Structure 1
Amino acid sequence: MKVWITLGVAVMLVLALYGASSYMLDYSLGYPKGERMTAEHWKNRTRNECPWTTAWMDSIYRNHCVKDTFLIMPSGYKAHAIYLYAPKATDKTAVVVHGYKVRAEGMLHIAYLYNHDLGYNVLLPDLYGHGQSEGDHIQMGWQDRWDVIRWAEVANNVFRASRYSSTKQVIHGISMGAATTMAVAGEKTPDYVEFFVEDCGYTSVWDEFAGQLKEEFGLPSFPLMNTTSWLCQQRYGWSFDEAQQIKQVERSTKPMLFIHGDDDTYVPYSMLRPLYEAKRHGRKAIFIAKGSAHAMAYRDHHKEYTEKVKEFVGE
């Protein structure tokens, strides 16, 4: 009898843990299409938070400068991006990557920095499961790295003027977009990808989720992180513990600028220093946005932020 009771309790615990893991996976990576904020929502938010971009935004949309492009990724899903040409012909191009549950239009303030202030061409992709791109879950910037490399190729083809053999690109991401940028930096990238800018990215998906699990639910990492990571592997083909942005930074060789607000608690400011120190190959620089919360460095310090980026990509 005791054996059956013990076995029954064990089965109940396994089922409960599986149920909790399934809930946490859906909670963290689920993003039903009906929940996605519209392009207008993000354009209006940019106008409110960064009012100096308003005239430029109104102009590029009024004059139909913002173009849509779609492609089928090697994994088989339909992906979308928006792009705009520089005011004057140039080989300089920025691929600007959005964050968690955002979309391409949510990065128009950074597009302003590159297009209006620095005279770059800009391409802004919708990552898997975001905006107008297909997808059934959020990839936290890990599997997205392959798509961004493909988008960099598209940007090179779109913006390569007849006088240039190729573009000179910077990949710039914020939050999950920064995690994507760092993940890309650890892979072999074409010569036309020259710089990386990561703004408030996390050291790893595991670290970020473990912190949020403790912050939001008051729970330790073990065992729920382990089982949820395993379930992610079974459902989506990747796990939390393999998604190590910091390991990608260690492997990177091209220049990288690290940005973080020192009042960031969502992706803790404490993650900045380990990431910066992990980069042992190639040029690097750091910009600490004093008093800025998560993803607010540009809003709070846009002039200094712009100068830091301009200086870094201009070297």
Structure 2
Amino acid sequence: MKRITRNLTLAAAMIAVIFAMSGCMVGKFMCNYALLPEEHGNDIEGDRVKVEERYPGIIAWYDALRSDGTYRDGTLEGEGGCKLYYEYVTASDPANAQGTAVVVHGYTDNHICFLNLVRMYRDSLNYNVLVPDLHHHGYSEGDAVQMGWLDRLDAIRFIEKAHEIFGDDFLVMHGVSMGGATTMMTSGEDLPEYVRAFVEDCGYSSVWNQYKYNLKQMFHLPSWPVLNSASNVCRRRYGWDFKQASSMDQLAKCERPMLFIHGDNDDFVPTSHVYMNYDAKVKGYKEIWLAPGSAHAMAYKDHPAEYTAHVRSFLAKVRELGL
């Protein structure tokens, strides 16, 4: 009986070791899959085509402003010494500009992918606009995607650069998807007084929660031990882990106004995330708008007039009421 017990214990230990080793290998694969995607916003020409298909005429609008020098670019030094790229454009009526918007793209996107929001802020709302390429995206350097967490530190640099260029005392940060998470994560930091408001569109509640959902949805895998292993790999390589990268934790520290936007038919970052994020912000003014029928990052495409109206109304309240 003792021999059977000993053999069963040994077998269980061996299974546990094999399971842990396999989990570690899968964890490394997942970390690479998530943070080192083959396509990471570096296909600028391909994205120009996609954006033009979605918003006909917008590339001609962009190219014309680039040609006459209204739309410019620059670089700055980001976290870890990486060279980060950005573009910026003055308001349609510069003498009466309402402020500055920093528009932040999503996962595997770049400065081209949300020209619709740049045009919204410039032409419809009369804001100056700066739009960056985040770490490891577009023309920016960087060894891996940072999922908004280390990007929040770069976002502060982009905010400061926008203020240096335009000098406005009213700045709004607006991000979509991973850019939405970057916006929320930035909102919990110690920021200059001229940062007055945030708009987040379909951002996730935390990297852990998002990857847990993706593991089940895409690979039919449990979070343990795969996600734990991948998070450990990320911490060793890049200095942060998936639970640490939390929009909700940062929102709990945010006292400045925020507009939350999410499609009510989003099955990539589930709509449940926006409620978690909204509830996590316990200080300061907040609004929420659920875009009817919209899938992930499609709220503006589906409802451009309503989207613009919600952003305009929110910013007007912040400005007029001194929120």
* 1:157 alignment partner in structure 2: 164
Deviations, residues 227-268 of structure 1 (Å, cap 9, x unaligned) = 111111011100001111011111110000000000100000
Looking at structure 2, the residues matched to 66 and 117 of structure 1 have their Cα atoms a distance apart, in angstroms, of 17
* Corresponding residue for residue 122 of structure 2: 115
1:192 aligns with 2:194: yes
* Alpha-carbon contact 2:20-2:225 (below 8 Å) kept: no
1:16 aligns with 2:22: yes
Aligned equivalents of 1:56 and 1:117: distance in 2?
A: 14
Distance 1:180 1:35 in 2: 16
Which of the numbers 59, 64, 69 marks the counterpart of 2:69? 64
Question: Who is 1:163 aligned against?
Answer: none
Aligned residues: 309
Asked if the contact 2:35/2:144 (under 8 Å) is kept, the reply is yes
User: 1:312 maps to which residue?
Assistant: 314
Structure 1 runs not aligned, ≥5 long: 161-165
Match of 1:243 in 2: 245
2:152 to 145, 162, 176: 145
Unaligned 5+ runs, structure 2: 1-5, 318-323
Counterpart residue identity of residue 196, structure 1: F
**Cα deviation digits, residues 81-121 of structure 1 (max 9, x gap):** 11111122236100000000001111111101101111111
1:125 aligns with 2:127: no
Alignment RMSD = 1.9
Give runs of ≥4 in structure 1 deviating > 3 Å.
1-14, 34-37, 52-55
- Asked if 2 retains the 8 angstrom alpha-carbon contact of 1:56 and 1:116, the reply is no
Counterpart in the other structure of 2:226 = 224
- SS of match in other structure, 1:267: coil
Q: Tell me whether 1:80 sits opposite 2:85 in the alignment.
A: yes
Q: Is the CA contact 1:183–1:249 (under 8 Å) kept in the aligned structure 2? A: yes
- 35 and 230 in structure 1: CA distance in 2 versus 1, 3 angstrom threshold: closer
Q: Which residue of 2 aligns with 1:291?
A: 293
Matches within 5 A, 1:201-212: 201-212=203-214
Q: Deviations over 1:292-312 (max 9, x none)?
A: 000000000001100110111
Change in CA separation of 1:14 and 1:297 when aligned onto 2, cut-off 3 Å:
same
Describe the SS at the equivalent of 2:113: helix
The one-letter amino acid paired with 1:261 is: G
Larger-Rg structure? 2
CA contact 1:17–1:227 (8 Å) conserved in 2: yes
Does structure 1 conserve the Cα–Cα contact (< 8 Å) formed by 2:260 and 2:278? Answer: yes
Q: With structure 1 as the length reference, what TM-score do the two structures score?
A: 0.92
Q: Structure 2: how far apart are the matches of 1:223 and 1:76?
A: 33
CA contact (8 A) 1:43 1:108 kept: no
Cα distance in 1 for residues equivalent to 2:136 and 2:142: 4
